[in-house]
Amino acid sequence: MNYKAVLFDFDYTLGDATEAIVAGFTYAFREMGLPIPDRDSIRGTVGLMLEDAYTLLSKDEVPARRAEFRRLFAQIGHPMQLEGVPLFPGAKELILALRDSGIPTGVISSKRTDALVSILEKHGLARLMSLIIGGDKVDRPKPDPQGLLNACSFLGLKPEEVLYCGDTVIDAETARRAGTCFCPVLNGVTPVDAFSSFPWEHIAPDLLELRRWLEV
């Protein structure tokens, strides 16, 4: 393998937090007196900052309402995520295999860092990762490359030595801006054709195939 580190997005890349996210959106929209979006529409916003997802689905750009949505979402969505989020098949085995091969791993996500750490700890993975950077640890969310570049700097690596794996075009654009290599993982709702305008090393239908491609 030519990469000196492999970093991951979380939602729909390593883990599936659909139930908690849908529950949080449903509760918040109901409390705000808004029509509740369908499940697929909510899933399609994963990867965006919560406020931006709210505006996309509600068309409401009022800052106070965007903040209110986050507060209400947190009452339901965050506790459910802290209780545990299932990983996709092969996720744990891939992280362990990379660790055993001496390849540092980490997560760069829009999700809150405390939620990421809690989820990964429950699966015994947090201690195996070199870094976990949530959306609250950066000033500018993805696709701004701040988080990914901070990770490269922390690891002492050039961006081109790092592979970033994610499920959305937001992840692809983040990698492009950072100058890292990129591998789409098709665990989410983004169709493969959406990545055609982005540079990528490999397209993995799932994490099991990604591990085979990485040869770890």
Catalytic residues: 9, 11
d(CA 179, CA 190): 22
CA distance 159 to 166: 16
Identify each DSSP E strand in 86-184 by its residue range.
105-108, 131-133, 162-166, 181-184
* Pairwise CA distance, residues 177 & 69, whole Å: 30
Whole-number Å distance between alpha carbons of 212 and 133? 26
CA 35 vs CA 17, 88, 200: distances in Å? 22, 31, 38
Using an 8 Å Cβ cutoff, are 54 and 37 in contact?
A: no
How far, in Å, CA of 23 to CA of 188, rounded? 18
